[in-house]
Amino acid sequence: MRQYLSGNKAAAEGARLAEVKVVAAYPITPQTSIVEYLASFVANGELAAEMIPVESEHSAISATYGASLTGVRTFVASSSQGLALMHEALFMASGLRLPIVMAIANRALASPVTIFTDHQDSLAQRDTGWLQFYVEDCQEVLDTILIAYRVAEDCRVLLPIMVCFDGFYVSHISEPVDVPDVAQVREFLPEFKANYPVLDIANPKMFNVMAFPQFFEEFQRDKHESMVGSEQVIKEAMLDFERIFNRSYSMIETYCTEDADIIIAGLGSMMGTVRTAIDQLRSTGLKIGMAKIKSFRPFPYQDLAQALKGAKVIGILDRDISPGSTGIVYQEVLATLQETPNKCIVDFVLGLGGRDVTIDTIEKATGILEQVLSGSELKRRVIWVDENREVLDIWKVGETNVG
């Protein structure tokens, strides 16, 4: 059935359709309404689940992994400060190999405080052993949550997954969304049954015991190899999703890349803007294309290399920064260079703390990429493509406005 849903409602609908049994979440802008929708589903009997109104995000993820370890399907949602507070327990969820799915309405991290979007919060959790999918619109939010459960619960994977979407731009924007019916969803995502050890009186096991050096590394290696191997599982799940729901997804989504000299790559809702900008730029004769990185973990190196194969210059849009180094996505793409030699890769940091990424922004970045294409050298490793020149000296601004 077609409904008009915000990204947050779509996320909650995804959890409802997955028939999760336990939800534990704590409110934070811009994720809050996900928690509220789920509470109302439970209150109205539309979702037969236990909702735990925890007292913090640390407890949200802790209660979730406790529940997941007891052998039921679980859902959790967070953002920004809340996600950062979860950090320690994120390793527990992946180390215990629990198929938890978490929705993340991306938001920048303080200080200074902001409630607006960038990808710093989830990218800072890159190495916690969670798969990470970045999605662009409300339909993709719902669909990707279903795909995430299917992948996480596959015995070849058994790892938790974050489904990330931009705060406000996706979380609070409403769009028509096809909401599948439960029977269809069950065909894609069978009823959950843990076919691995859980907290079970009939089959008692100890969890999270001490691993000495002769074991520890192999635990990490297995996690890594399962994540790498999950590429295959994700692809199978996406194909099956298309068969049942007639909507197709891929780990790297390309647009106009076949003949492109310039390709722009990045994550999240801004890639929709890039698509529109490309249409405009193409009409002026520029051979430009786009690669949207939907799966950031596992990072699909080969698929990305394949998509970038023909390009001479590549621009990375980083809605994040690793201070003292570069944008985070840039570093990942650099690692594909082995597979795609002789390319020039430019890092644009943009859209931090909710700064709009507009068609203008993309055209500005493209202008720089065109210069590089015609041979000019860049002086900086990181390009702040949409810098606000009036407040570049933030110390001065502080003196006059804040005192």
By CB under 8 A, the count of residues binding another protein is: 41
Residue 70 as a binder of another protein (CB under 8 A): the answer is yes
CA–CA dist 7, 13 (Å, integer): 10
| 358: Cβ contacts below 8 Å, ≥ 6 apart | 273
The answer to whether 294 and 253 are in contact (CB under 8 A) is yes
Minimum distance, C-beta of residue 82 to another protein, in the bound complex (Å):
14
Among 74, 226, 257, 269, binds another protein (CB under 8 A): 74
Residue 56 as a binder of another protein (CB under 8 A): the answer is yes
Residue 252 as a binder of another protein (CB under 8 A): the answer is no
Nearer to another protein, 69 or 293 (CB): 69
Nearer to another protein, 91 or 245 (CB): 91
Residue 356 as a binder of another protein (CB under 8 A): the answer is no
Residue 302 as a binder of another protein (CB under 8 A): the answer is no
Residue 224 as a binder of another protein (CB under 8 A): the answer is no
Question: What part of residues 87-106 is at the interface with another protein (CB under 8 A)?
Answer: 88-89, 92
Nearer to another protein, 112 or 204 (CB): 204
**Helix residue spans in 250-337 (DSSP H):** 270-283, 301-308, 328-334
Residue 53 as a binder of another protein (CB under 8 A): the answer is yes
Nearest to 267 by CA among 381, 120, 108: 120
Among 32, 36, 39, 50, binds another protein (CB under 8 A): 50
Residue 39 as a binder of another protein (CB under 8 A): the answer is no
CA–CA dist 264, 317 (Å, integer): 7
Residue 29 as a binder of another protein (CB under 8 A): the answer is no
| 72: Cβ contacts below 8 Å, ≥ 6 apart | 20, 21, 22, 192, 194
Nearest to 252 by CA among 290, 285, 286: 290
Residue 62 as a binder of another protein (CB under 8 A): the answer is yes
Q: What burial class does residue 296 get, using C-beta atoms within 10 Å of its C-beta: 0-12 exposed, 13-18 middle, 19+ buried?
A: buried
CA–CA dist 197, 70 (Å, integer): 9
**Binding footprint of another protein on the chain (CB under 8 A):** 21-22, 24, 48-50, 52-56, 58-60, 62-72, 74, 88-89, 92, 198-201, 203-210
